[in-house]
Amino acid sequence: MIDAKISSVRMIEVSALIPDDPSNRGFPPQSRAISVYDQYHPADGWQLPAGPRRKSLLYLEIGTTAGVTGRYGPIDQEAVAPLAEGMAKSLLGLDPLAITFIWDMLQRANRHSRHGNRKIAISAVDNALWDLKGRLLGLPVWRLLGGSGRTRIPAYASTLGTFHGEGEVEETAAQLLDEGYTAQKWFFSDGPAQGAEGMERNVALVERTRATVGDRSELMFDAFMSWDLAYARRWCARVEHLRPDWLEEPFPAGAIESFAQLQASTNIPLATGEHLYDRHDILPFLQRGLLGVLQVDPEWCGGTTDLVRMCAMAETFGVPVIPHGHGIRAALHVVASQPPEACPRVEYLFHHEPERHYFEIDAPAPQGGSFSLPTLPGFGIEFAEDRIKESQDVLAES
């Protein structure tokens, strides 16, 4: 029997000065909700300043009287305030293996816990506790969740950060095929405020990618909550014959009626979920049959504990869960523990994940379009100490 209590909760910031990368062109134009205002939708995207830049990332660590510490990260800045305002202190003295109780206590402790920054903080605590449990028992999290019937976990390539200039879309789409990905997702550069020219670019993106990959790859497209119903209907009518495998987040997450009306007027499957933070949020989408894929995020929706529950809910309605790929660690372990029909694959943001895990040893990365099953205890997050030039406590409770 493991006799341990939570003895400390720390949020640490690790940082370093990263040399200039001349090949990094910044961030391309992307249609976002705020793109309705011209000043927030630069035609050339967002450029990075020249020269070295400071990179800082946050990690949550939960220590125990047994001398074992759980860790999860990188953690969003939004989690810091709720943890500092009492959430971290409320964990001290508790049984770290009582993960379901701790999740429920944190959810009930504040009336605003369902959404927003508090739910992001709960997610961080939950994931750190699952890592801690894995370290205490010497097992990876996917084994704690029931094991896996698969030897590898497929990934789809998410192209966020890819420019759409002449030849660039075709080159990237072909390269992803060569690397073994059987599905790729592309992000629109424009929304309704960019008018007819923007619509043509959004239609052309589907034409260009389908012409490159043919039937050898699934193709998905993400509007990032920036369209309205009329615009989405026009786009769907223009590209339906090119067989997009899903249209993601055409509307804000709560716009259920817009999802329902679009779903009734197109054969293109719809996807959403990364901005749904609660089981009550996803239920009406499932009950009304509005989604082809659910994309809840374990770093925002309540952590590993609630992602597993959401997978069970979605499976009941025959809707697969492919978690949003904000971070890969928890998503990979949960998907590995589920049947392939329930969780067919994970999302991998190939431009962003390597830098997101810059300070870690052996950050997870797919080979041939899929991941091998992790083998280290917990989530396997270990620091590459030679890359960390500065480290400081942002929060410390003991």
Structure tokens at 56: 């800082």
Long-range contacts of 268-276 (CB under 8 A, 24+ apart): 268/236, 268/239, 268/240, 268/244, 269/245, 269/293, 270/246, 271/220, 271/246, 271/247, 271/295, 272/248, 273/297, 273/321, 273/324, 274/249, 274/300, 274/324, 274/326, 275/225, 275/249, 275/300, 276/301
Is 324 a known active-site residue? yes
- Phi, psi torsion values for 89, nearest 5 degrees: -60, -35
Q: What is the 3-state secondary structure (H, E, C) of the chain?
A: CCCCCEEEEEEEEEEEEECCCCCCCCECCCCCHHHHCHHHCCCCCECCCCCCEEEEEEEEEEEECCCCEEEEEEECHHHHHHHHHHHCHHHCCCCCCCHHHHHHHHHHHCCCCCCHHHHHHHHHHHHHHHHHHHHHHCCEHHHHCCCCCCCEEEEEEECCCCCCCCCHHHHHHHHHHHCCCCEEEEECCCCHHHHHHHHHHHHHHHHHHHHHHCCCCEEEEECCCCCCHHHHHHHHHHHHHHCCCEEECCCCCCCHHHHHHHHHHCCCCEEECCCCCCHHHHHHHHHCCCCCEECCCCCCCCHHHHHHHHHHHHHHCCCCECCCCCCCHHHHHHHHHCCCCCCCCEEEECCCHHHHCCCECCCCCCECCEEECCCCCECCCCECHHHCCEEEEEEEEC
- Write down the catalytic residue from 164, 275, 324, 326: 324
User: Residues with catalytic annotation?
Assistant: 324
